Chain A
Amino acid sequence: MRFVLLLLIFGYVANASAQNRYFTKSGKINFYSKTSLEDIEANHRSVSCVLDTKTGAVQFAVLMKGFEFRKALMQEHFNENYVESDKFPNGAFKGEVINNSSINYQKDGTYPAQVKGKLTIHGETKDVSTTGKIEVQGGKIQLLSDFNISLSDYKISVPAVVKDKVSQTIQISVDCLLEPLK
């Protein structure tokens, strides 16, 4: 009887914990490099993201080869020379929503969010802090954020012959629509 009671309590706690988690496997991340000579844009349509609304813990994961460029040569250079995606196939962010307690995930609305964590690209991990928006609508949660990164922070080197065509500061835009993880 005691064993059954323990099992019931465990099941309730586990279930309650799972309902705090929201996820997507088709989030979007775009990055943008702007110079006087050329603008380069890449889109990712299969970003994985998990948010724990109770703790504010948030994680993102991408396959670097999933970034799509309009021009094949740019995509090949990106994978082979810049991010070396065969050696470093994954990009990831692991962090938290610092002001999580001020966000009411049970009430539809748009909430400003402050996020900090560790971003890993090209095998290099750096601390990142940024702001964004959390939009709660109809049981779903949308995470939106724009921030910049420096290529040098992630030891991404641009060949001298194209250095005027690739910005050292890359603009990143995140847009992930999360659903409850059941």
Chain B
Amino acid sequence: MNRRSIIVLAVLLILVIAAIVVYREYNRENADMINTDADAHVQASQLIAAFEKNDSVANLDYRNKILIVSGTVRSLDTSSDHHTIVLGDSSSMSSVRCLLDTKHIQTAEGLTIGTIVRIKGAITGFKKDELGIGSDVELNRCVVVRSLQN
């Protein structure tokens, strides 16, 4: 094999590798929480309090973070396309709303209201109460890490 052929083959190989990398990046799905380390562990009540005290500061502290949130299940919405676990105290309308990753709904099996649970998810932000229905910290792509019966 002469030198020119080797160069052509090397260029072709680089192009093929580049095409594969671009294809994989273009079709990449969001990181699966099952395999992703959390940036922080926090109690649901502390998380709500941090945002209600100063949401600008809390938004900077928690922006784009993966959190494990511990708290008591206040309500469950398991309709066909929702699967939301709400953590918080029933005496307040504010809560941490955890939208389950539809690929890992089974991690929430057996959960009931009052269960103490740890949920890992990506924080999407804080919805301040401007509609009279309480403030919420919201997480997406959630998986239940561990639950303890109350």
Binding site for B on A (CB under 8 A): 21, 23, 25-26, 28, 45-46, 48-50, 59, 61, 63, 65-66, 68, 70-73, 75, 86, 89-90, 181
Contact = CB atoms under 8 A, between A and B. Distances in A.
Nearest to A21: B132
Interface residues of B, number: 27
Interface string B24-49: 01111111000000000000000000
Given A45-B81, A63-B125, A66-B138, A89 B97 contact: no
B98 to A, nearest CB: 10
B27 A71 contact: yes
B6 to A, nearest CB: 34
A181 B140 CA distance: 25
A72 B32 CA distance: 11
Contacts of A65: 124-125, 140
A119 to B, nearest CB: 15
A46 B126 CA distance: 12
A72 B84 contact: no
Interface of B: 25-31, 59, 63, 77, 81-82, 84, 97, 99, 124-127, 130-133, 136, 138, 140-141
Contacts of A73: 25-26, 28
Main secondary structure of the interface of B (DSSP, over half): mixed
Main secondary structure of the interface of A (DSSP, over half): strand
A28 B81 CA distance: 10
A25 B63 CA distance: 21
A81 to B, nearest CB: 15
A59 B30 CA distance: 30
A32 B133 CA distance: 29
A143 to B, nearest CB: 14
A182 to B, nearest CB: 10
Contacts of B126: 63
Given A66-B138, A70-B29, A71-B26, A59 B99 contact: no
Most buried by B among A46, A68, A75: A46
A45 B141 CA distance: 11
B130 A61 contact: yes
A68 B124 CA distance: 11
